[in-house]
Structures are given as C-alpha cells and as structure tokens.
A and B are shown apart, each in its own frame.
Chain A
Amino acid sequence: MRFQVIIAGRGGEGIIFTTVVLTEGAFKAGHPVVSSETHGMAQRGGSVVSQVKIGPFLSPMVPPGEADLIIATSLEEAERVRVWLRKGGLMVVNSSEGLPGHVDARKIALELGHPRGANLVLLGYALARTGLFHPSPFREAIAERSPHRWTQKNLAAFERGFRLSP
C-alpha cells in the first residue's frame, strides 16, 4: 500500500491526536508508517497540518498533488491545503453545507455530547470511505491513547463517523 494523508485544522482542535490515532492504527494493521505534526509556537491557534504516509516511505512530507486523502476541520482550511490532493483523491471536510465529502462532524459530536470528538467523526468517516482499512486497529489506538474519562466518547465518535459512510 502507498497511501498519503493530510490532516488540516487549527491549533487546539486535536489534530495531533487524530494524527497519532491514524499513525498507530495503520501500524497496528501491519503497514509501515511515517507521519509528522506541528509543534511549538505555530500550535497556538494558528493553522496546522499533519502528514501521514502509509507504505514504504521514509520522508514524513507529502508533496503537493500527491495526497490520497485530505481531512480538514473547516472549509477554509480545506481550501488552503487543496493543492496537496492528487487527481481523484478524497477530500473530507467538516461542514454543514451537505456537499459531497462534507460531514457535519461538529453537529454529530455535539449530539454525542462530545464537542471535542468532531475530529474522530471525520477520521472514522474518511477511513470507511477509502474502503482500505478495517476499523479495529484504529479503535485499539483510540482506546490506548485516550484519557480514561474520554475513551468511550472518543470511540463512539469514531464509530459514528465510520458508519456514516455509504
């Protein structure tokens, strides 16, 4: 498998957590994986991007035009990072506009009583849409990485997202 992912959002939205879940889930599923994330000053509410490369890669950077999947927490961030998407790649965006690839993850997360779980709704939906991944290793990664009081809610958010996909 050669599968490259961009995750885009703002500092403080849980982008790093989503990156960790995707990276560790893919590794648990038996794939080699490298990824990278934004730390330090840029994290303070600024735009942040994570890059995940599943397959025989060494560099953690995805070249523009080569991402198979982009997950963005807003339309604005999605537009900003669109140049990363390859032709025919999949774009999953948190949005209430109801267009293809749009998921109202924030609303779903609020319904689940877990406003911070929107990222995992998006991740679950995106992974299901690719048709390439079984959810269990990602569930395992979420269970291992969540603070105890959030484990069930995080799993529920991921599950809801995964089952949303047609």
Chain B
Amino acid sequence: MAKVKKVLMGNEAIAWALLAQGATVLTSYPGTPASEILASARKFKAEKGLEVWAEWAVNEKVAFEIALTNSWIGGRSAVMMKQVGLNVALDPLMSAAYAGVKGGFVVVSADDPGPYSSQTEQDSRFLAMFAKIPVLDPATPQEAAEMVRRAFELSERHQIPVMLRPTSWICHGRQGFELEEIVQRRQPISLQKDPAHWAAPPRQRFRLHGELNRKVKEVARANTVELLLGDEGADLAVIASGVPFAHLHDVIKGMGIEDRVAVYKVDMPFPLPPGIESSLEGYAEVLVLEEPGAVVELQLRMPVRGRLDGTLPSEGEYTPELVADVLLRLLGSQRERPSRPKEGHRPRLCPGCPHRAAFWALKEALPGGIYPGDIGCYTLGMNLGVVDSFLCMGASVSQAEGFWIALRQAGLPIPPIGATIGDSTFLHAGVPALMDAVHNRASFVLMILDNGTTAMTGRQPTLATGEEGKRPVSIEEVVRGCGVEFIRVVDPYDVETTIQALKEADRFARGEGKGPAVVIARRPCPLLFREESRGVVRINDNCTGCMTCVHDLECPALEEGDGIPVVLEDLCRGCGVCVHVCPVGAIEVVQR
C-alpha cells in the first residue's frame, strides 16, 4: 500500500482515513469542531477524482439515516457531526444499534470540552454507552486516522455502528505523520432485504436487544487497556483516554517522572474489557483522566480518583498544567500554579456583515421587544442587544411561539416578539416549529437571516444554495408551504426598507388570528462572496464624539479614537449601516 507523509488537521486526517478505508457514502451537517471532516472529504474527493457521495445533509438525523442505509446494503459509510448534532441524530442512533449494520458504519461525534463553540460540554461517549455501541477515543490526530480503520473493522466484524469521538484539540490540532494513500475502492454491494433487522416489529425488538448485548460483550472481551508509559511497579496508576493522555504524556516526559507513574491508555472507553479492575489492584492510588465526562470512571468497580470524588474539576477542559498539578498532588508534592492568559476580545460580527444591519433594523422596528435567537454567527446579535436567548438549533421559532403562549396564558401584556434564525438553521430545525406556530396562530415576527451559507462553521453550502447539479430549495416556498401569510424579502443593507418591513410584519402578526409573519433579510455573507468594496466610511465635522456608532454596532472597522471614532479603512467595506446609526448625520460613504 502506497504511503504519504503529510501534516494534516485532525479533521482532515479523519476524512483522509475514511476515504482511504473505502467509505462510499459520507454525510454530515456542519458544526464546530467537526465541520472540516466532510469539507476535507469533499476536497480530497475532487483532488483524487473519487466516486463517492460526500454531501451536506439538511440536519444530522437525515445525514445519519442516509449513511446508515448505504451500510445496510454493504457499503462502508460514515456520518460526522458535533456532539449536540448527535442529540438530533439520537433517534436513529438508538434504533440503528438494535438493527445493526452490514458495511462498516462509523459515527464521528466531536466533543467540545471547554466549551469553545457549543452550548454544552456533553460527552458523546455517554451516548455511545446509552446506545450500546463501541466508542474509540483518539489522543492525537494520527491516532484518530488509525482508529478509523479499527472502527470499520470492528463495525463489520460485529455488525454494529461504531463511534469515533474526537475532541476539539484533535479536530483542530495538526500533526505530521505517514498515512495510507487514498485509492478508489469497489465493495460488493447488493440490495438484499433483511426484514428481521430492518423492520422488526416492537414485540421482536427484545431479540434485537439481546443480539446487541451479545455483540457488546464480544467487543468488550476483545478490548484491551495497555500500559503505555511509565513504570508498572509505581505506586500511582493513571488510566487515561483521549487528549488527556496526550497532556499526561507531555507532562510526564517534561518532568522526567516516568518511574513514578504507571499509565494505562484506554482506546475504547466503552465497552471496557471485563475484569480490568484486577490489573489495577496492586496500586496505592488509581487516577482516571478523561474528557469531558466520567465514562470510564463510572464503569470501574473499584475506588478511583477522578471527577466523582472531586480530585478533578467536574466542568471545563483539562490542560497540561491541570494534569501536572493533580499528578504532583497525588505524588505528594506541590508547585505554584502558573497563571492563565487573560481573556481576550470577545468575538463579533465581521465588517460588512449583513446580520449587523438586520439586527439594527430589528432594534429600531420592534423596540422593547423580546428577541429569541438561534445558533450561528448571528448568535452574536446578543452583543447588539437583540438576542435574548439561544437554546439549540431551531428554538428561536418554537420559543417565539412559546413566549407568545406563556405571556398570553399568564394574562400579561405581550411585547413585540422578534425572532431571528439563519437560513441553514431554519432548514435544519426551524421548519417544523414554524408549521406549529402557524397552526396555533402564534403572533410573532420571524426574521430569516439569509446569507446563502452556513457561515460560522466555515461557509458550507446550504440546501438553498445553488450548488452544481443540485436543486436549490426556495426558502420563500418553504415558508409559504408552512402556511405563513405575510412574507417579505428585503436587502438588510437597505436599512429603512427593512425597518418598514419589520414594522408591517409586527402589525400583521398582531392582527387577531393572523399568526407569524416572516421577513427574509437576504444578502450574501461577505466572507463567501467577495464583492467589490462599496466605498469607505468617513466621519465628517458634525461628529460630536458620542461613540454611538462604535458601541451600538460593534463593527471591527470602527474604533474609539481621540475624541472621535476612527475608521479602519482596510477593514471597512462601505456597507454604510453606521450612517443610519449616527444620531447627528456625521457619517457618510465615499468612493475609495
């Protein structure tokens, strides 16, 4: 087999390995830290002219079901998502574990301890355990690539879905290593129906459950936990899984204490090998290091140190210095804890971002309102005071309905309700909620921020994007199909028109029995479609130095200067939204 030496990001390494292992159907919905897996698979597919299906799906549940189906007829398949995406795909995951697979089926669910880009610090390994499927937990990008092969082999040997669970530092870590070249593979695929597994009636499902239990037992028996580092005869044993193993490795080597610790590495945190406790009995102390949950720790039937006894914190990510502190404490020494870097600047919308214009219009049109928000770049609307909540994908719509119902039930006055959701998120989970709101005649304004891409995760195409060979979904038609009677499409850069449309929408929604009104604010993401700059903003002599433009817009191109705002000309895209914000008409757009 031909080999290549490369530096790859963990997500690229996983994509590379999935293709090198012959996956023919790969599906995903973007979400940090998992987004670059499918994006890279699509890139490698194009570079190498592979005949594989590597496509973004409307959401994780659909992505999961499409990939699983290919595995049912014998093809190697993979579905990739972030941990909260796995929640969306939990329904098919649970059932797929019972139904089993034929071609190898790998579920990649990327966790985000910290968290850096997520609502929760949940541990996907718990969902693997919950669904009773094996899960592999890589410590480095190289290991993630190697584990893809293992995952496919396990999946095929035991006819079970297998989870690969990287975390942010694997996904966005880079490492140089040697890996197998990608070649197009052909698999024996046949459409052979398997009703006993595909369509078992509920009363037969306990048999499938029994089958699953037997598979998990077999996998557990073949699992091993090896001494990988340190001295078997030490007093302290550490059981480490995933990235914390990498931290531990560097800490032990850096301090030169290989003789004082015995490190056992867990590649597969579920199902653990039976009787693993017996190999740990001789140690004075056993510490479990894993992230972000206590999956291994909870399975061990012996006293151990870890999260549950408070030796390690129960939230937040592990760092090498935290690992070093705990290790030294258990070894009976102490050191001064190094200070952490200060918090930096919070993220904000890009210069020229159409969302900024849309949010400003929303604030002007529906003052004193309640503003349910959603998941995407536009969550940053909270910096502008027009995102009051963001729960999960699509919840802006259902919570707009929820606020309307709750306030109405309580007999309280109902302020304007202005919900915002992005185009991709709307299609992902907003549509059923909108149907529900129409059905219940819930009165609120929904602004769909349509920038033609899934921007925050790296500008992936959406179903509404006109990719070659695909039929773009029309957001207007979907909204109309849900039964919405008020639909306006506006360009958010045209701030006045957007404000008028939102005001009209609010009047319509509040008319008795009318239901939700939708305004689609449509303008492409400036990161995706590099249009010519429209000019540049200048501050004229009218400026009183009130800094409203700087504070109310949080535009990276506007900074507080010496008494008056300063325009950073190389950042300014001349969108002119600040012109509307200035209370004294001191901002104008001029040609460059």
In the complex, the answer to whether A80 meets B341 with C-beta atoms within 8 Å is yes
The A contact surface, by secondary structure, is mixed
- Among residues of A, the one whose C-beta sits closest to the C-beta of B349 is A44
- Among residues of B, the one whose C-beta sits closest to the C-beta of A47 is B344
Q: Which of A32-40, A95-103, A123-131, A148-156 sits within the interface?
A: A32-40
In the complex, the answer to whether A61 meets B33 with C-beta atoms within 8 Å is no
Compute how far the CA of A56 lies from the CA of B380 in the bound complex, rounded to whole angstroms.
39
Interface set, chain A 69-107, CB cutoff 8 A to B: 77, 79-84
Compute how far the CA of A152 lies from the CA of B140 in the bound complex, rounded to whole angstroms.
34
In the complex, the answer to whether B347 meets A36 with C-beta atoms within 8 Å is no
Is there a chain B Cβ closer than 8 Å to A43's Cβ? Answer: yes
In the complex, the answer to whether A38 meets B344 with C-beta atoms within 8 Å is no
In the complex, the answer to whether B341 meets A41 with C-beta atoms within 8 Å is no
Is there a chain A Cβ closer than 8 Å to B174's Cβ? Answer: yes
For the A-B complex, the count of residue pairs with Cβ-Cβ distances under 8 Å equals 136
User: For this complex, into which size category does the number of interface residues on chain A fall?
Assistant: 35 or more
What is the 8 Å Cβ interface bit string for chain B, positions 283-297, against chain A (1 contact, 0 not)?
000000000000000
- Among residues of A, the one whose C-beta sits closest to the C-beta of B347 is A46
- Among residues of A, the one whose C-beta sits closest to the C-beta of B176 is A27
Q: Knowing A38-B116, A63-B324, A64-B340 are in contact, say whether A56-B172 is a contact too (CB < 8 A).
A: no
Q: Knowing A41-B456, A45-B345, A63-B320 are in contact, say whether A58-B33 is a contact too (CB < 8 A).
A: no
Most B-side CB within 10 Å, residue of A23, A37, A53, A59? A59
Identify which of B116, B340, B341, B456 contacts A44 (C-beta below 8 A): B456
Is there a chain A Cβ closer than 8 Å to B213's Cβ? Answer: no
In the complex, the answer to whether B339 meets A115 with C-beta atoms within 8 Å is no
Compute how far the CA of A32 lies from the CA of B246 in the bound complex, rounded to whole angstroms.
14
- Among residues of B, the one whose C-beta sits closest to the C-beta of A12 is B350
In the complex, the answer to whether A83 meets B341 with C-beta atoms within 8 Å is yes
Q: Knowing A23-B176, A61-B320 are in contact, say whether A40-B117 is a contact too (CB < 8 A).
A: yes
Compute how far the CA of A77 lies from the CA of B344 in the bound complex, rounded to whole angstroms.
8
Interface set, chain B 551-567, CB cutoff 8 A to A: 556
In the complex, the answer to whether B379 meets A46 with C-beta atoms within 8 Å is no
Compute how far the CA of A49 lies from the CA of B169 in the bound complex, rounded to whole angstroms.
13
Compute how far the CA of A38 lies from the CA of B171 in the bound complex, rounded to whole angstroms.
11
On chain A, the residues within 8 Å of B573 by CB distance are none
Identify which of A26, A36, A43 contacts B169 (C-beta below 8 A): A36
What is the 8 Å Cβ interface bit string for chain B, positions 320-351, against chain A (1 contact, 0 not)?
11001000000000000011111111111110
Identify which of A35, A41, A64, A115 contacts B32 (C-beta below 8 A): A41
In the complex, the answer to whether A61 meets B116 with C-beta atoms within 8 Å is no
The size of the chain B interface, using a CB distance under 8 A, is 50
In the complex, the answer to whether B169 meets A61 with C-beta atoms within 8 Å is yes
In the complex, the answer to whether A42 meets B116 with C-beta atoms within 8 Å is yes
Q: Which of B182-190, B247-255, B399-407, B466-474 sits within the interface?
A: B247-255
Is there a chain B Cβ closer than 8 Å to A60's Cβ? Answer: yes
Most A-side CB within 10 Å, residue of B117, B377, B458? B117
Most A-side CB within 10 Å, residue of B174, B380, B458, B556? B174
Please give the distance in Å from B434's CB to the nearest CB on chain A. Answer: 25
In the complex, the answer to whether B324 meets A83 with C-beta atoms within 8 Å is no
- Among residues of B, the one whose C-beta sits closest to the C-beta of A110 is B570
Compute how far the CA of A61 lies from the CA of B114 in the bound complex, rounded to whole angstroms.
13
- Among residues of A, the one whose C-beta sits closest to the C-beta of B375 is A41
Please give the distance in Å from B27's CB to the nearest CB on chain A. Answer: 21
In the complex, the answer to whether B250 meets A39 with C-beta atoms within 8 Å is no
Compute how far the CA of A42 lies from the CA of B116 in the bound complex, rounded to whole angstroms.
7
In the complex, the answer to whether A58 meets B246 with C-beta atoms within 8 Å is yes
Compute how far the CA of A61 lies from the CA of B340 in the bound complex, rounded to whole angstroms.
12
Q: Knowing A10-B345, A46-B345, A65-B338 are in contact, say whether A41-B321 is a contact too (CB < 8 A).
A: no
- Among residues of A, the one whose C-beta sits closest to the C-beta of B112 is A40
**Partner-B contacts on A (CB < 8 A):** 10-12, 19-20, 23-24, 26-27, 32-49, 53, 56-66, 77, 79-84, 115
20 contacts between A and B (CB under 8 A): A19-B174, A20-B7, A23-B7, A32-B176, A34-B174, A36-B172, A39-B36, A39-B171, A40-B117, A40-B456, A40-B457, A41-B117, A41-B456, A44-B349, A44-B350, A46-B346, A47-B343, A58-B249, A59-B249, A63-B338
**Partner-A contacts on B (CB < 8 A):** 7, 32-33, 35-36, 116-117, 139-141, 169, 171-176, 243, 245-247, 249-250, 253-254, 319-321, 324, 338-350, 377, 379-380, 456-458, 556, 570
Given A44-B377, A59-B247, 16 extra CB contacts under 8 A: A32-B176, A33-B174, A34-B140, A39-B171, A39-B172, A41-B377, A41-B379, A44-B348, A45-B350, A46-B347, A49-B344, A53-B250, A58-B249, A64-B338, A81-B341, A83-B341
Closest 5 CB pairs of A and B: A47-B344, A40-B32, A40-B117, A27-B176, A46-B347
